[in-house]
Structure 1
């Protein structure tokens, strides 16, 4: 294909290659559970600890998650913010959640800051890439490509150039070099004219004819577009008007825009030049918005960012035009942008070689651009490559779509065509979206029957809810190209949710909602360390004083003991096998007593707490060191034995039968 600079700068903006351009879970009855046992809501325990001024990364992570999954973004942002200030190494996922929580309270500037941080830490994560500029553009294009579309080379194409389609009445209008006559020396094809063809009832096309009237001349005509009332047609032609052919000082005949009026006999006459045409630059490829109030076009007039830019101009009621305005750097690049088209939703499509693409000219989309232009926006026009099959390694341009019939036309000089440029078409398949999934326990993977699954739109408005059956499955039928949030809920569990945006094509999305127990059963013989997810109570090496990080964890035990005054516990401290048995017994005993004393010092009656150190006598694995005082176990395996237990010895009048 000849480059677009040839088209715009050498009057051949028309042809692209030539002239212009589960298990089934056994769940206890909640009612029965409350009769038989007591429950501790871990989120309440965490909040009580945090409100006392205790700080730890684990504490803030769990608090933030608790509110995040309840969609309480103000509280989530608060505790994630506290987590961030810890200046510890944390999972980048928390930067992402913090950013979303901030966005949920409309703190967009701060949200952007942490999304950027997330992207730096996880550069391959699509969420970060979607926020920042497209880096891995090929992957992005592949994600936007369609494999459910089969394009068809129109039967009316010839071995010459055919391109630039628009629908008109019961057919299409396009440009073609099929007319014969004098040839354009650049490609040895006849000059372009504008043609029309009607569709038959069977969906094929009838005979192709030149458009009636005074539009076609012995030079190039192309890119016709019609006003909504059908009275005006704008089109592109060489600088040839009233039998006068004009060139600039360099001897180049530029492209210009013209307007024709529909006569009573159906022909297009009364040809008028657009007032901002010039002999010194080209103006070409008009496109009208839905109401006909704005016309978009391509030009290399002064003030362009590159070799050709997309401009917009207001259209008056009489078909005359106002003063053109460049769409700016939000659309235009230092490369070439041309062939604009605006669909009835106000989305701008255009061809460009200034953005990363598949090769040659690719078609790009800027959603809702026309509405933004009308509102006088700041020219922030996000764009995306529309992907395959429209785009290819060749030149792809002249995009047109009918959102009602879902019919699309575009032009390309790709391999396998009939001529240098051909018109292709396809019908966009009906967009069917189905999301289905299961609700499961996060730790055990067991199914959770009778859970509630709620579907929300992107703004948090509830759309639909369902209660899952014994198989714990759910499904929803969704719309295309919309944001949704699905949340799983169940009493005694913390909620889980998934947020996603449906694509513009058929999809079946599989989800797992993983709920984590938020209320735990407390009964005699329970280990509060396990129920409250308390890790190892760390002491400094060879010491038994309570460190700050251990104090944070002990506050959880303290909260439970304060809530249930009848509860008594036995504090048990254990070591691994390394060092001598006598030493380990003494050290663990000191640590157990130190832990007990901490709870007493914080208001717990001494009669409610016993404590004992067991040294290495109760290993939980085979990591013993006797008799050689050596072990082949890893540090992680040894660590499992260095644990603290908080065994409930009596509760609500019942005693634990276990003997120490």
Structure 2
């Protein structure tokens, strides 16, 4: 029976092992074709059944990460790092760091990014992190230039995003996954929502949207359509669609259906059958078109060859912003990569305003978490200006994207999956209160350290003042002694550091004339020594031993110098009392040494009293030869130097009114 039981257990274990292996393979097959919702269900069931591996935790986190649910993703990445951090690949340091921002754990995110940065040569995201220290202060400095509201009047309980101005801004066209009418559309395996279609909505002079309607069936198909853009005359439209044309659904070599940009012309009020753009390809995506104000350039997002947007493990492809010239005959130049603004992360959803500012979303530039909206001024020669995070409240720890603005009315729209919306992604309208060009800012990155040791000092207060010594702001240094201020350009300031029981330090600075970073180091040192009852303050004050000549109890000149340190200490700490302990060597009878040590202790006490120390704060006691520091007894032959080590004094402190027993 025992043998049969063992065989049965082995058979069951083998069966369960094969079943789990099968489920893992099944989940991975779904994951590899981006069917993340189906893969997620399989991985969750495996974890629920107690089957947990680094691969399952990583890919389970990915199924949320790639669906922009960073809050949920960070929980699974956390489990991955708790159990398997030593074997985690560098890419997951980046993903986990990005996910932590969604729950406002920026310090931990920065720690992981610092670790990611230490993987030399991994990719440019680490370099950009090193260059972006103080990014949260920069974002705060850029914030507060918008009033926003949810366009609840047109948002559904599914995804609504990617607005575009149409017919002189009296209408907005956007993508939605809503089901309406009698059509029940198929659902996409990536996020289990209906495929997107393009809708129009009417816009009033305050940006309020109403009357959502599905666009023509010549534009919408049973697959995805999204992110349109229109020429100024409203007669030409570019938009994104799955690789589905004329009833044919195409996939790449791995079986994935990519995105393409299509163009349609309006003729007698109807849209023509859309045509593909020539730089589309079955093997990569081309999506999210945007037009320059003059209509002569088309910008878009793509992961085509030459993109910086990839991870080195080839697990998931990011995207870059690209541009092409539109010729007079409607043809296009070769695509060119906007390398100065792209990162190995994800750059997407471009929009060019009337004032020639390129807005786009990115996960590669430093932001608050997820996709943030950034801006870059396009120069007349086509070069790109500095990339600037446009700040809160447009940007949050969630995905914020699809930004468009009318420079004349200052009214615009953007998309976000932040909490408080009606559905998944919602469209928000805003009123722009200030110009979006970067404010001139000087970022002061400083540190406070110990003047003697160079060690960083935590919890020091750095006070920012104007030249008239009026306090403007203050910071408390972190564990590494660092502090930051974001200041106006070309202005004088005073920085002063203070900490209890320390000296202070002060620096007069003038900030940079253009936006930049200043490194200001401040140094302080302790001027009060922390002591406790029964401490021997000799080592604390770096006092050399108070030595006496053989058979003498007078204070030597070298001893007087050291005793002056005790005097200064007792003057600085008036609440402290000191017991003076004197010791002798063993080269005389015990009774004689006891008397001699008492006299040495009293001699030391009298010297301190002569210098103004209150006698009530001093006691003196001789210990004779009872506490030798070595083996130099009468029975042991020692040198004079060895005997001198035992002729010493100690200074034991007490903060009590009565001296406590410190033996």
TM-score (norm 2): 0.45
TM-score (norm 1): 0.45
